[in-house]
Amino acid sequence: MSQPKYIIAATGCPTGVAHTFMAAEALRKAAKELDVEIKVETHGQVGIENPLTKQDIEQADCVIIAADKDVQAHRFGGKPVIVTSVGDGIKRAKALVEQAITDTSIPIMPMQASESASADSSASMARESLGRRAYKHLMSGVSHMLPFVVGGGVLIALSFFWGIHSADPSHEQYNPIAAKLMTIGGVSMGFMVPVLAAFIAQSIASRPGLVVGFIGGSLALQGGTGFLGGLVAGFLSGGIILLLQHLFKPLPKSLQALKAIFLYPVLGIISIGLIMLAISAPMEQINHNVMQFLAQFEDGNPLLLGLIVGSMMAFDMGGPINKAAYVTGTVLLAQGNTSFMAGVMAAGMTPPLITALATTLFSKQFDAEERNAGVINYLLSATFITEGAIPFASKDPLKVIPIFMIGSSLSAMLTYLFKVAVPAPHGGLIVLPLVTHGLLWLIAIILGSLLGALLMGLQRRYWK
């Protein structure tokens, strides 16, 4: 196989904020070093940027998909496709480009008539495990859900400026502006479960899964099953549509429109509806028990909880373990628990602040590029963008990531000990005026970051 002259790529992470663009930049840089032309399409929170055209796909010699969400892989039928995680797109960009150039055994994406079949074939082609595919479907739902949670959560938090009861007309703290903010924010938060379920189902079964997922998620919300019900509804809805697609496959092509417009939505909705109504009661009890368990854990052993949350947030900084802790925080926040999110946000703000302080306090141990990145990380830390620490971790992960975990754990532990409450799901220091015991929260973050910065500086000086 001769060296490809043109490579295309698509990157995407669950939140679409940092990893997506870091992977794209890493691939561009690697291609430049290897003297290969590349075009990278990004699937970020604002949508698809630098989109791949039909002509780009036709001319491409190889495709790299570095994503933890659906990036419409069905478009690449007939092309050699490398499928990997967005994390690999950052850490192994050069190796991926080299593989695209030299590897003659890269699997060819099958040409498929249906998008869902194509997505499934691409997953199996890449030898992804069932768990890996389930994670990608879940993260597709989470990435679409988060803007509703963040936007609505911040508006609800802003309503507390006038007092904790400012949206209650019968209370002396009542303020009409606060009440409007609470109403708007509540509507936005109310979409969390239906949107989660809908886009999990869409990731599994393409567009036919969307409507069934929305109905399943709405029934989960109505039935009080919360986030767990949304997860179940999303995966069940996608599975129902795949089953229907298989059952109706023998139908002639002239009935394709009938399937999409009538059979799939009608049979899919009634199926998911009956299932969700049947499991609502036990799911509601499970949801209640999980919330109670977390609340007891939080009150009974804040040090252990801080250790777990801090380690999860710092371990992969935007990856699946980090997202598991963050999504748990947003779910609990939507159900009225504002203290769990305080530890999550503190732990997430700590790694970039560790690097910022380390490059300031131990400047001689870092090169100019790292010092510049450290300055930027003051801002990224303040706005709760943990991914700013990734460039430092990727250079020496076995030594640096444990340092981040130690610092983040201390920040989270102190946050829980100080009984801090954060009513917003994002924002960092922007929401500081809304934080209960805000000064103590700031102290917790600074102390955890200073410990991490000290360890990182000493590691650079004495343990090269």
Longest Cα–Cα distance of the chain, Å, equals: 77
Mean pLDDT within 384-404: 82
Phi, psi of 418 (to 5 degrees): -80, 0
Mean pLDDT within 19-31: 88
- What is the CA 17 to chain-centroid distance, rounded? 9
**C-alpha–C-alpha distance, residues 359 and 350, integer Å:** 14
- Poorest-confidence range of 125-129, 198-202, 276-280? 125-129
Q: What is the pTM of this model?
A: 0.68
**C-alpha–C-alpha distance, residues 353 and 214, integer Å:** 39
- Poorest-confidence range of 113-127, 218-232, 238-252, 382-396? 113-127
- Poorest-confidence range of 253-257, 274-278, 281-285? 253-257
* Sequence-separated contacts (24+) of 92-95 with Cβ below 8 Å: 93/23, 93/26, 93/27, 93/29, 93/30, 94/30, 94/33, 94/34
Q: How confident is the model at residue 215 (pLDDT cuts 50, 70, 90)?
A: very high
**C-alpha–C-alpha distance, residues 429 and 379, integer Å:** 10
**C-alpha–C-alpha distance, residues 4 and 90, integer Å:** 21
pLDDT in tens, 132-176: 778 778 878 877 887 887 788 778 778 877 776 778 888 887 888
The CATH number of domain 6-125 is 3.40.50.2300: yes
Residues 6+ apart with CB under 8 A from 2: none
Q: Examine the residue annotation and report whether 13 is marked as an active-site residue of this protein.
A: yes
Which residue out of 8, 9, 10, 13 is catalytically annotated? 13
Model pLDDT, residue 129: 63
More confident residue, 376 or 446: 446
Q: How confident is the model at residue 120 (pLDDT cuts 50, 70, 90)?
A: very low
Crossing angle of the two packed helices 207-222 and 264-300, in degrees rounded to 10: 50
Q: How confident is the model at residue 224 (pLDDT cuts 50, 70, 90)?
A: confident
Instruction: Pinpoint the residues of the chain covered by CATH 3.40.50.2300.
Output: 6-125
**C-alpha–C-alpha distance, residues 63 and 81, integer Å:** 5
Q: What is the mean pLDDT of the chain?
A: 83
Please provide the DSSP assignment of 90-156 as one string.
Answer: HHSHHHHHHHHHH-TTPPBPPP-SSHHHHHHHHHHHTT--HHHHHHHHHHHHHHHHHHHHHHHHHHH
Q: Are 118 and 83 in contact (CB under 8 A)?
A: no
SS3 44: strand
Model confidence at 255: pLDDT above 80: no
Model confidence at 241: pLDDT above 90: yes
3-state SS string for 215-244: HHHHHHHHCCCHHHHHHHHHHHHHHHHHHH
Model pLDDT, residue 464: 58
Mean pLDDT within 331-345: 83
> Residue type at 203?
S
- Poorest-confidence range of 241-245, 346-350, 429-433? 429-433
Within 13 Å of residue 207, how many CA atoms lie on the same side as its CB? Answer: 5
pLDDT above 90 covers a percentage of the chain that reads 25
Judging by DSSP bridges, how do beta strands 37-44 and 47-49 pair with one another? Answer: antiparallel
Model pLDDT, residue 126: 45
Mean pLDDT within 52-78: 86
Model pLDDT, residue 3: 56
Model pLDDT, residue 199: 92
pLDDT above 70 covers a percentage of the chain that reads 90
Mean pLDDT within 278-285: 84
Return the DSSP state at 464.
-
Model pLDDT, residue 119: 42
Model pLDDT, residue 351: 92
Q: If residue 8 lies in a helix (H) or strand (E), which one and from where to where?
A: strand 6-12
**C-alpha–C-alpha distance, residues 175 and 106, integer Å:** 62
Mean pLDDT within 216-244: 88
Q: How confident is the model at residue 446 (pLDDT cuts 50, 70, 90)?
A: very high
Q: Are 422 and 338 in contact (CB under 8 A)?
A: yes
Q: How confident is the model at residue 275 (pLDDT cuts 50, 70, 90)?
A: very high
Q: Are 436 and 353 in contact (CB under 8 A)?
A: no
Q: Are 333 and 153 in contact (CB under 8 A)?
A: yes
Model confidence at 121: pLDDT above 90: no
Q: In what order do the strands lie in the sheet with 62-67?
A: 47-49, 37-44, 6-12, 62-67, 81-84
- What is the CA 427 to chain-centroid distance, rounded? 16
Model pLDDT, residue 123: 43
Model pLDDT, residue 4: 58
Crossing angle of the two packed helices 397-417 and 302-315, in degrees rounded to 10: 140
